[in-house]
Structures are given as structure tokens and as C-alpha cells.
Amino acid sequence: MNRFLAKLRHVFLPFLFISVTIVFTYTLLHWLVYIKFELFELDDLWQNFIIPGAVAVIVAYVFVPPIIKKLDFTARKKKSGDPVNGMMIIVIFAILASLYIALNYFETATGKLTTLEHISAINKQPLTKYYKLNELYLDKQAVRVHSAFKTSGKYDQHFDMTIYCSVPIQNAKIADTVADRSVDRLLSSLNNKDNLNLKKALLIVNGREASKEEISRIPRDRIASMETIDIQRSTLMYGENGKYGVIHFEVITGSDNQGRSLIIEQPDAWLAVSYKKTISNDLSPQEKEKAYNEFAEATQTEFETADHSMFTYLEKVPKSDDLDNYRTAITQTDTTLSADDAILLKPVYEPFEDRVGSSFGWIFGSFAIGAFIFFIIIQFFPLRKNHQRKLNSKKFRWLWLNDVKTILWPRQGYAVTPILILLNVSIFFVMVIAGLGFISFSSTDLLNWGADYRPAVMEGDYWRLFTAMFLHGGVMHLFLNMYGLMFIGIMLEPVIGSKRFASAYLISSLAGSAASLWWHPATVGVGASGAIFGMYGVYLALLTTNMYTSAQRKTLLTNMVVFIGINLLIGIRGSVDNAAHIGGLVAGIIAGYVTYPFIKDNIYISKKEKELLHEPEENAV
């Protein structure tokens, strides 16, 4: 039993800690960089697979092998080689499986759903991941098509065929009678030398068939010429479609910002529809061509009969090979259209609430499978003798718990910070258990639980100024605030004492809530960030006094100002309550100067903080 517990503590739990840290940290950074602040966008393959996979593998190979090598593989190596590589494969499987699922889950779950009255409003606001359209018209007659082919499979045994269809999304359909009247008026000026039936003749725009509705959308000043083609020639050129003759429109109009001519107004967005089929790559070129023609014919029938407007919501196609192919379809069918910045929206027919499915559970399930296999394997190997002797010493036995205990366990001189962390986390999980959410909570639920809201406070709910500091908008909001609280709490609470720390925290929180109410007339506000900025304000004030040496002041003051400045700049981007941050910060600075006279003669600085303060200045960041 002792050997089992020793391997559990010193092999399995460290592996667990490192693996969870990799998944959690990278997922958080990915969410902040690519989703929350949208600092830049990479191809979907690189952003969601190659880069996270490479980072996870590198970090795992740095930190996990030293843990595995605490086991003695001497006997096993003689029989079947070094088992370390096999165990690393299991570790990497567990990490990558949960990481990929977590990235997909958070990107999907946190994507914003924007409701638009018409598609023309899409460029009047920041782009989001999901859209709902109240009114639209899909101009299926103006569909752009592109076919793409590639081989797949370990031995390239599959031949994949994909037909990409980009359909213009218009605000509304022009009624057939309106389109007819518009085109009839246009054709009345035509010299009908071939005596064609103008209402039944085939309409061609710059060599491409077009409907009356499409022509009715072309600005009249962009039509350079119109001419008729007699029935005999049009039948030879266009077959059955040209039996009533052809009217050819030459449309040469202006250019876009890249110098390319435009035929018709560029749609604000396109519907992205694709059809896929896989056949054997062993077929001859003739057999592949036949299979493609049959696939294309079936696709055309399916496209024409399907009602693509019956979707529940639309999802923006990310930067990827699929996006490139949809944009190629736009320019391949009609080279006069610009597609570099074209917005492609993919229809989704399931309810919006079902978009994540069971992926959240699989984040833990996939990791649990790999972790369980790892746990079983380590039971077959003993610990190395030199490591076993080290474990037998009492000093080493519980060393791995010391850091966790130091941060989360209340003690004299450091009691308020861990209590506040545990209280905030507990309230969050009570809301989760109540079924209110996890990634985020609705404003209505937050309001019911005591969020800050000026109209409610003005009607007498003054208690909201206090309760709002213990509520958070979601798991990321909670994590960032608790990390900031833990960091400042470790540095500040032992210095000023628990009672003064609690008083300053409460005052800063109330000041932040009041500032938020003053600045926002009708916004639901939650979070401990006002109070946390207040504690940074207290520390900032103390750093300007003679409590610290000149060298200590310079190093810590620079770090603190940079930290506060970065957080305030992030708040300028929106969705962050900078009013609460500034209100709490100002209150904290005042509280710091008020506190200083009471602690300057009886200052308590922990041994760990002394070591931190006496580090060389070049270690400052």
C-alpha cells in the first residue's frame, strides 16, 4: 500500500498536475488571443491543430520524462526496450485529445450570436461567429460554383471530390413583376433588329447567363451595350436555352480598390454550401470523370430542390482551405467579382443551444481514458531506489502540497485572501449546480443573484453594491480575477495585516461599484475586479513611501504600473468595466496612504517576500 501511495503521489499526481496545467493554460491563452481580443487570425488548421499540438508536445517532453524516470525500468528494458517512449505516447494522447476538444468547445460555446434585420447590416458592426437573419433572400440563380479534388488516406487510396457553392445573400427578393417591368423598360430602348421575343429571350451578361432579377440589380450607368443574337446563331451557341434568341449585355463598370472591374453590386455576404463525395483513387481517369459528372448532376438537382433558407442560424466560415475554395468559386465563375474580403456564412439547422453537444464532458472523458491507462502502467514498475530513499524522509514526504497549502489555506497574517478566493469560487459553482451556465451566465440570472444595476439600486437595492463583488460572468472572468487576487494577496496581506486588507478590499469594491453605476446608466455589473484593482492601488501607494528601499521601489513600482496600465488598456477595447477598475484603483490608493502611518513602525514582511524584494533589478519585467 505504501508503494502504491508513493507512486500515486510522486508520479501520477505530478503527471496529472502538469497535463491539466498544459490544457488549461493553452486553452485560456487561445481564448484570450484568438477569441476574446481577436489579436490576429491564422488558418484554422494552424490555429486549432498544428500550433497547439506542437506546444503541448514540446512542453510535455520537457516536464513529463523527469517524472516518469522516477520509476525503475531496468528489468523491462532488457526484455522489450525502453518503455518511456511508449508512456510518453499515452501522455501526449491524453493531453492532445482533451486540448483539441477544449479549444473547439470554448470557441463554439463563447461565440456570439448576432441578430440582424437584413444582411446589409453585417458590415456596420464587428464580425461575430454566429448570425441570425430576420429577413433574407438567397439569389440561387446567381450561385458561384467551384470543384476541388484531393487524395486522402494513408496510402492516398481515396479520391475526394467537393463542390463548393457560394450563394449571394440579398436583403429581399425583387418581385418577379417588378424585375420584369424593370428589364422590359430597359429592353424597350434596344434595337431589336432580329425581331426576337424579348420576354422569352435568353439573357447573357458578359458571357454568363443571368436572370431578370439579377439584371434589374445592375446600375443602369454600368451597362455599356446591349445587342441581340438571332435564333439560328443562339441555338447553335446555347442549345435549347437559346431557342428564343439571345440578348447580350456588355457591362463594364468602375473597379474595386484593387483595380478589378465589377459587373454587379458585391453582396454583403454569401451562403456557403458544399457537397462531398469520395471514390477510390484506383479508378482510371475516365472512370473518375464519369463519377464526377454523375456527382455534379446529382448535386445540381439537390441544390435546386433544397430550401437553403430554412436554417436556424449561420456560422461564419473561419480562415481555412474551405474559405479559400468558397472565395475561388466567387471569382472563378465571374472573374469581375472581388472575393478577398468576402464573408461566407455556413447554414446550421440544429438549435443554437445544441451547438456544443456533449463536447464539454469529453474534455474530461478523453483525458480520463489516457490518465487511467497511464495509472495502470505505472503500477508495473517500482520506484528507483535512490528516489525511494528520498521519499522516506519526513521532510520530503508532503513537500508537493506545501505550495498549494501556502496559497489556499488561511493562516495568521494571510487569512482574508484564501477565504475570498474560496468564497468566490464556491458561489460560482453554486450557480453552475443551479443550472445557470458555466462558460457564461445570462444578465437576467446575474441580476436575480445580486448584480449591480443602477435602476435597481436607485429603487433601494443598495445591497447590490456589496453582493456584486462575489458574482462573475463566467469561468474565464472568475479565473482571471482570482489569479489577480491571489497574486496581490500574497504580496500585500502579510504587509498590512488581514483586518486592514479586508477593510481596503471592501472599500475598494464599494467604490468600484459606485463608479460603475455612475458611468453606466443601465448595465448589469459583476465581478471582484474593482476590489482587486483597489488592492493594487494600496500596494502602489505603499511603494511610493519610504517603506521600501530605493532599489526595491524602482523594481516593484515599475512592474505594478505596467501591470495596471496593461489591464486598463485591455478594458478600453470594450466588454470590460473600466469605470469599476478606476473607481477601485483610486479608492485603493487613498486607502494605502491612510494605512501607511499605522504600519510603518510595525511592518511585517514574510521571509519569502524579503527574498523577492532583494532579487537583482535586472530580473524585473
- Per-residue pLDDT of 9-50, as tens digits, reads 788 888 888 888 888 888 888 888 888 777 777 888 888 888
Give the pLDDT band (50/70/90) at residue 391. Answer: low
Helix residue spans in 379-497 (DSSP H): 385-392, 394-397, 399-408, 416-433, 443-448, 454-458, 464-467, 475-496
Q: What are the φ and ψ backbone dihedral angles of 170, each rounded to 5 degrees?
A: -110, 160
Instruction: Count CB-CB contacts under 10 A for residue 139.
Output: 19
Give the pLDDT band (50/70/90) at residue 313. Answer: very high
Q: What angle do CA 524, 525, 529 make, to 5 degrees?
A: 165
Q: What is the mean pLDDT of residues 495-504?
A: 90
Q: What is the mean pLDDT of the chain?
A: 80
Q: What is the pLDDT of residue 47?
A: 87
Express each pLDDT in 6-19 by its tens digit. 787 788 888 888 88
Helix residue spans in 225-355 (DSSP H): 231-238, 285-305, 321-333
Could you give the residue range(s) of every CATH 1.20.1540.10 domain in the chain? 401-619
Express each pLDDT in 247-271 by its tens digit. 888 876 543 333 333 445 578 899 9
- Let me know: does 228 contact 192? Beta carbons within 8 Å: yes
Q: What is the pLDDT of residue 160?
A: 93
Q: What is the pLDDT of residue 613?
A: 42
- Let me know: does 473 contact 445? Beta carbons within 8 Å: no
- Rounded-to-integer distance, Cα 98 and Cα 361, Å: 10
- Only one residue has cell 437595492, namely 461
Report the range of poorest mean pLDDT among 55-69, 488-502, 514-528, 592-606.
Answer: 592-606
Q: What is the mean pLDDT of residues 218-227?
A: 77
Name the 3-class secondary structure at 150: strand
For residue 523, give the C-alpha cell: 448595465
DSSP state of 418: H
Question: Which position has the higher pLDDT, 446 or 395?
Answer: 446
pLDDT at 608 over 50: no
Report the range of poorest mean pLDDT among 11-25, 61-75, 215-229, 365-379.
Answer: 215-229
Q: Which amino acid is at 297?
A: E
Q: What is the pLDDT of residue 604?
A: 42
Q: What is the pLDDT of residue 610?
A: 46
- 529 classed as catalytic: yes
Whether the model pTM is above 0.85? no
Give the pLDDT band (50/70/90) at residue 560. Answer: low
Active-site residue among 80, 120, 581, 606? 581
Helix residue spans in 174-274 (DSSP H): 176-187, 212-216, 231-238
Give the pLDDT band (50/70/90) at residue 563. Answer: low
- Let me know: does 609 contact 491? Beta carbons within 8 Å: yes
- Let me know: does 481 contact 470? Beta carbons within 8 Å: no
Express each pLDDT in 397-438 by its tens digit. 444 455 556 667 778 888 899 999 999 999 998 888 887 877
pLDDT at 512 over 60: yes
- Let me know: does 134 contact 117? Beta carbons within 8 Å: yes
Please name the CATH architecture into which domain 401-619 falls. Up-down Bundle (1.20)
Express each pLDDT in 286-310 by its tens digit. 999 999 999 999 999 999 999 999 9
- Let me know: does 460 contact 468? Beta carbons within 8 Å: no
Express each pLDDT in 323-338 by its tens digit. 999 999 988 755 556 6
Express each pLDDT in 334-388 by its tens digit. 555 667 789 999 999 999 888 887 787 788 888 888 888 888 888 888 888 766 5
Q: What is the mean pLDDT of residues 213-229?
A: 77
Helix residue spans in 544-577 (DSSP H): 550-572
Express each pLDDT in 96-152 by its tens digit. 988 988 888 888 888 889 999 989 899 888 888 999 999 898 988 788 899 999 888
Q: What is the mean pLDDT of residues 561-575?
A: 58
Q: Which residues pair with 262 in a beta bridge?
A: 253
Share of the chain residues as helix, strand and coil, in percent rounded to the nearest 5: 60, 15, 30
How many residues make up the chain in this entry?
621
Strands (E), 237-361: 246-251, 269-280, 313-316, 344-348
Q: What is the pLDDT of residue 599?
A: 79
Active-site residue among 98, 158, 529, 614? 529
Q: Which residues pair with 272 in a beta bridge?
A: 166
pLDDT at 276 over 90: yes
Q: What is the pLDDT of residue 34?
A: 83
Q: What is the pLDDT of residue 255?
A: 39
For residue 220, give the C-alpha cell: 443602369
Q: In what order do the strands lie in the sheet with 223-229?
A: 208-209, 202-205, 246-251, 223-229
- Rounded-to-integer distance, Cα 274 and Cα 166, Å: 9
pLDDT at 205 over 50: yes
- 80 classed as catalytic: no
- Report the DSSP pairing between strands 246-251 and 202-205: parallel
